[in-house]
Structure 1
C-alpha cells in the first residue's frame, strides 16, 4: 500500500510492573484492532527479558495512526503506565518489500 504506515514500538516495563504493563498492553491490542484504519496490531514479549515488549502495527495511513493516538483506550494506556516503564520508543517505518 502506497501510504501504509508501520509502527514498531518497544516498551520496557520496570521489573515490578511487568505483569501490570502486559495486562494494559493486551487491553490496548484488543481495543486498537477495532480502530479505523488498523490493518494489524501485534504484541510480542521477549522470551529472555520478560520486561521487554514490542508492538508491531500497520495502519492505512498517517491519519489512521493519528486517530488511534487520540482514542480513549490509547490515552488510558499511557495514563495507566505512567511511571511504570523504563522506556517507550516508537519507530515509524515504511515497508520496502
Structure 2
C-alpha cells in the first residue's frame, strides 16, 4: 500500500526566521513517536533561510490527520501566530 506523502511548504516572515525554525524543530521528536509516521524531515532553503519544507510520509491519511490535530501542532500554531508569511500543504502519492 502506498504511503501518503505530505509536503508542507512554510515561509517565515524575514524577522521571525529563528522563532519559526525553533518551533518547527520542536515538532520532530513527538511526531516521530506518533502512530503511522514513517518519515518526517524538516529542510531549510540554502539560499533563503526563511523558507522551510517538511517532507513527510504517513501510513494513512487518517493517521496524518490525527497528527494535524495533535497538541504539538496546535502549540506550533499558537507559538508562530503572525510569524508565518505563507503555508501550503500538499497531499501526494508516489506513482513511480
- Global fold match (TM > 0.5): yes
Match for residue 32 of structure 2?
33
Q: Please give the TM-score of this superposition, normalised by the length of structure 2.
A: 0.96
List runs of 5+ in structure 1 lacking aligned partners.
none
Give the whole-Å Cα distance in 2 for the aligned partners of 1:31 and 1:48.
28
- The ranges of structure 1 where at least 4 consecutive aligned residues each deviate by more than 4 angstroms after the TM superposition are none
Give the whole-Å Cα distance in 1 for the aligned partners of 2:29 and 2:12.
20
The alignment yields a C-alpha RMSD, in angstroms, of 0.8
| Cα displacement (A) at 1:63 | 0.9
| Cα displacement (A) at 1:79 | 1.3
What are the within-5 Å matches in structure 2 for residues 1-97 of structure 1? 1-2=1-2, 4-97=3-96
Q: Please give the TM-score of this superposition, normalised by the length of structure 1.
A: 0.95
| Cα displacement (A) at 1:66 | 1.1
SS at match of 1:73: helix
Q: How many residues align?
A: 96
List runs of 5+ in structure 2 lacking aligned partners.
none
